[in-house]
Amino acid sequence: MMAVLLAHSAGKNPPVPPQPYLTHVSNVLRRVMENTERLSPYYGGDLNYFREAVRASAIFHDLGKLDDENQKILLRGGGRGLPVNHVDAGTANLLANDLAESALIAYAHHIGLQSIPEERAKEELFLRDPNLVTRTEQYLADYLSKHINSGSGKLEKTADGVSDWTGLTRRIALSCLVDADHGDTAHNYQQEFPVSHPSPRWKERLEKLDEYVKGLIKESNPNEERNRLRQQIYQSCRDADTTPSFYACDSPVGTGKTTAVMAHLLRMAIDKNLRHIIVVLPYTNIIKQSVEVYRKALVLPDENADEIVAEHHHQADFDDLNTRQLATLWKSPIIVTTAVQFFETIASNHPSKLRKLHELPGSGVFIDETHAAIPFHLWPQTWKWLKEFSEKWDCYFVFASGSLSRFWELKDMIEEPEIIPDLVSKQLREEALRQERKRIIPVRHPSVLNDTELINLVLSKPGPRLVIMNTVQSAAVLADRLAKKINGKEEYTIDVHTSKVLHLSTALSPIDREVIVKKIEERLALPIDNSRRDFTLVATSCVEAGVDFSFRSAFRERAGTANLIQIGGRVRRNNEDFEPTLIDFRIEAPLFNRHPAFTLSSQILEKLFNENKVESDPPADLVTEALRRELMSDTSERHKRLQKMEREMDYPEVAKLYQVISSNTILVLVNQQIIENLKKREKVYPKEINRNSVQIWMNKIGKTCAYPLDAFPGLYGLDKDNYDKTFLGYMKGMLQQLKQDSEGGGVI
């Protein structure tokens, strides 16, 4: 009797029997076909070719595991790696059958999409492991015989034709396979969380949203000028034609874009039978606020809110078997995620990041605060991808911002500039702009400040006050020094209910930021003469967009034009009866570090101030002009290199060049109970990993006392003595180290 062929060895924690090869291949094939069938109504290419190419890759992706040496290890178990690269055999078989796209997907399902120019340079070793060519040729017939005899499926080459696949198509195809493979492996080891596809019920959600918005109007003064404008903008977006694939919405802050654009996309989803609506936000801290609104406005009485409106914070994508189950997928009808997650997923060559990409076809996408979504040099290639998603994958996009940069109109940025329609009529936009100009105009401080001068300037203006710094470190340093100044001593205690200074940045986990945001909202809602309103919030750009804050005085460290305009949306937001202040400033002081990404944009803002454009030009025109100047000043022509690498199919280089946040960060858990649960091998839901962790730059890890969680590669932990959940977050421990380095003569 022939021994059962294995795909996975036995698991010890929890105890799991070895998984037969037939079971794994059959399960992966079933999942792959489910993935392809769900996206098939939205694909504008050769569907039969796509379906069969992915199917073939699924059948043979693990063929090399049938090597006798691999079977010995799988049978023995113990966590050892396989001695023979199990990908080479399946790739060789697919290439022999002239299925190059299938071979590429199978080849990439562990190592990711590789550089096609480099593979072609290998000549006869294209998509092959040079160390295994002889062995594979010797045993391939044996592998195939075992495969067929096990009942694991035959090659059915029914789709003929020449591939017209682009890099985007390959990424989506790989996503279908990786999701199936990773999902079944996690399921086998009892580490998969069941993920369903809840019914979208778009029509019912639109009806509920209408009722929600009516309720908001009743609670406020419907005759007040700004509320009338909000109602008109909501109706304009809701009633807009659903034919165009792209829309712009540059309505100013406080005009209800969150619900108005959602109303349009729900209409779009009804008319086009879409699968998902994805809301893309630039900062993690504003996700929770948007999620709360959408759950109130869109979730129906008989539904689980977490399943209907999913929130996705950090880059929580993992390769290791033990952390794979923590990856967050895009399965819900409505997904609220970050720009980093959304755009870097599209650009990635990496299996774990790409796993969720196959859910994007057939989606409506709301890119909120577009001005802050990605660095300007990424837009030319991004626009190409979004156009392809609209033309070939039935996706629809809305770009929205109170300071919307119309990059698609710039001939220096887009190969074929075009005009896309506006969701809001010209008359309404002009009325909204008129009200915005009455509300706030920014000014600049004439000289460079030191820390003492900045603190004195801030405290000289009436509260509540908001100070935005360019880096997490600078915000923490200023908050610390301001707290010492106000309290009159080195040691201080922060109570978010009463303290005169608060701090908010990504040094705090999402769940801890939520607590602080709620207390800020409560204090800002107090009567103007209440003493608890007299406080200063020191923050980073994470609060310059998408949060419903209304301060009396605001100060913005010199950054980009859009950054300054956006912070104006946090000042006298509701047309309160007081004189507002918005000051642009520069600072040079010990421990205040510069953000290199703002070097060029701050110089351009200085020139726009000198030309009196900041005071006179409409926000959209001003931001678009600043973007044009940045592009013209890009002497390294990064945008052209990125497009060149994508054309040449150098996928690792594209992923390397496409960084929304130019930093190498580590995911660090700060919740001690979750850390203990992971150590005990207890299940932890992905959303809890996201909400209770921070991202820390790799080169800063040594200053935070973060430690690796050995059983979970890619995850770190931070003990409670080095994390302050009410004030400085992980900067509590780091500030102590920075001060020691500074006092000891260390270079900062």
Residue 698 has pLDDT above 60, yes or no: yes
Report which of 450, 482, 488 is spatially closest to residue 466, judged by C-alpha positions. Answer: 482
Q: What is the DSSP letter of 218?
A: H
> Starting from the edge strand earliest in sequence, which strands make up the sheet with 536-539, in order?
443-449, 581-587, 553-557, 465-468, 536-539, 501-504
What is the per-residue pLDDT across 348-407, written as a single tens digit (0 to 9) for each?
999 999 999 999 999 999 999 888 889 888 999 999 999 999 999 999 999 998 778 888
* Token pair belonging to 321: 């078997």
pLDDT at 745: 45
pLDDT at 462: 92
Band of the pLDDT at 428, cuts 50, 70, 90?
Answer: confident
pLDDT at 299: 95
Between residues 488 and 324, the one the model is more confident about: 488
- d(CA 689, CA 669) in angstroms, rounded, equals 7
pLDDT at 702: 72
Query: Between β-strands 501-504 and 536-539, what pairing exists: parallel, antiparallel or unpaired?
Result: parallel
Residue 318 has pLDDT above 70, yes or no: no
Report the pLDDT averaged over residues 262-282: 96
Q: SS3 for 317?
A: coil
What is the per-residue pLDDT across 40-75, written as a single tens digit (0 to 9) for each?
999 999 999 999 999 999 999 999 999 999 999 999
Residue 699 has pLDDT above 70, yes or no: yes
Between residues 153 and 62, the one the model is more confident about: 62
Rg (Cα) of the chain, in Å, rounded?
A: 27
Between residues 192 and 354, the one the model is more confident about: 354
The percent of residues in the chain predicted with pLDDT above 90, rounded, is: 56
- d(CA 166, CA 387) in angstroms, rounded, equals 13
pLDDT at 685: 79
H or E stretch covering 93: helix 87-96
Report the pLDDT averaged over residues 614-624: 83
Neighbouring residues of 610: CB distance < 8 A, sequence distance ≥ 6 = none
Residue 740 has pLDDT above 60, yes or no: yes
Between residues 349 and 415, the one the model is more confident about: 349
Residue 80 has pLDDT above 90, yes or no: no
Q: What is the mean pLDDT of the chain?
A: 88
- d(CA 493, CA 556) in angstroms, rounded, equals 26
pLDDT at 1: 39
- d(CA 107, CA 669) in angstroms, rounded, equals 33
Residue 316 has pLDDT above 70, yes or no: no
Q: What is the dihedral of CA 135, 136, 142, 147, to 10 degrees?
A: 140
89 near 143, Cβ under 8 Å? yes
Report which of 585, 564, 289, 259 is spatially closest to residue 451, judged by C-alpha positions. Answer: 585
- d(CA 571, CA 466) in angstroms, rounded, equals 9
Where does 475-599 show beta strands of DSSP type E? Answer: 501-504, 536-539, 553-557, 581-587
Report which of 507, 525, 568, 546 is spatially closest to residue 288, judged by C-alpha positions. Answer: 546
pLDDT at 321: 45
Report the pLDDT averaged over residues 661-679: 85
Q: Which amino acid is at 469?
A: M
Q: SS3 for 445?
A: strand
Residue 488 has pLDDT above 80, yes or no: yes
H or E stretch covering 53: helix 47-60
